[in-house]
Amino acid sequence: MTRASAAEPRIQEGLLSLDALIAGTERPDCGALATFVGTVRDHNEGRAVTHLVYSAHVPVADKLIRAIELEVQEAHGVPVCRVVHRVGRLDIGDAAIIAVARAPHRAEAFDAARAVVEAVKHRVPIWKEEFFPDGTSEFVAGCSLVEEPDA
Amino acid sequence: MTPVEISVEGFGPARDHLGSTPFALTVPEDAVVADAMRLLEGRNDDLATLLPRCAVAVGDEIVPLTHPLHAGDLVAVLPPVAGG
């Protein structure tokens, strides 16, 4: 099985592999592995969606995701937290983001997995453009990086 | 003072206003990020509305509006984000 090394880019154009991320983060001292996979939905706010195009400022996004992983590891006391996000055209059902957290016990692993996904959604320069059956598209309204996330 | 040339690139919805490739912008020698934003605001009303909610990165670093600009800087305009 392919293993995702720690140096692996956090922003990727190809299909994301949860198996590789799991294989690349194995730890004998952790009894809990929490995973999250965010997939493309066929609707948003009552409107049918045909596909999405994600884009990112790759250098900033990669750096910020790594910083968020470390921040969440520290805040939740977990030794492993890892996220990868896909960019480009994604079809319905494709994985857009995958996250893993490993910890000695499940509570911290669940909490860290959730926290890292929330932080990446709100604080990393990634944009989601939704395409509709009539051929039009719209960017999903997002969180401003110049305002404090909790403000 | 000699004006300096920087490059500006829009991301996400800012691409609709700034195009999808970097373009050159001339700013005064002692300009900071806020000065470049003021120049961009004049381009169109929709962009002027969006810019106050945009962060700015120079290279791979998000910088404050007071960040000094230098010749050759690649300035990225980062509108509100929606990953995941």
Domains of chain B: 4-78 (3.10.20.30)
Q: Looking at the domain assignment, is residue A144 inside a domain?
A: no
Please say whether the beta carbons of B7 and B24 come within 8 A: yes
User: Rounded to an integer, what is the distance from CA B52 to the centroid of its chain?
Assistant: 11
Residue A66: give its domain's CATH number: 3.90.1170.40
The helix or strand, by DSSP H or E, that contains position B58, with its residue range, turns out to be: strand B55-58
Give strand pairing partners of A149.
none
Overall number of domains in chain A: 1
- For A38, name the nearest residue in chain B, comparing CA atoms only: B84
Task: Give me the residues of A, 5-24, that contact B with CB < 8 A.
Answer: none
Say what the pLDDT of residue A4 is: 83
ipTM score assigned to the predicted complex: 0.95
Q: What is the torsional sign of CA B13, B18, B22, B27?
A: negative
Q: Looking at the domain assignment, is residue A142 inside a domain?
A: no
Threshold 0.90, pTM exceeds: yes
Give pLDDT tens digits for A122-144. 999 999 999 999 999 999 999 99
> Residue A120 sits in which domain range?
11-132
For chain A, strand residue ranges (E) read 11-12, 32-39, 43-44, 47-48, 51-56, 80-86, 88-91, 95-103, 126-131, 137-139
Q: Looking at the domain assignment, is residue A6 inside a domain?
A: no
Q: Looking at the domain assignment, is residue A141 inside a domain?
A: no
Task: Give me the residues of B, 6-45, that contact A with CB < 8 A.
Answer: 11-13
Average pLDDT estimate for A44-66: 97
Give strand pairing partners of A44.
A47
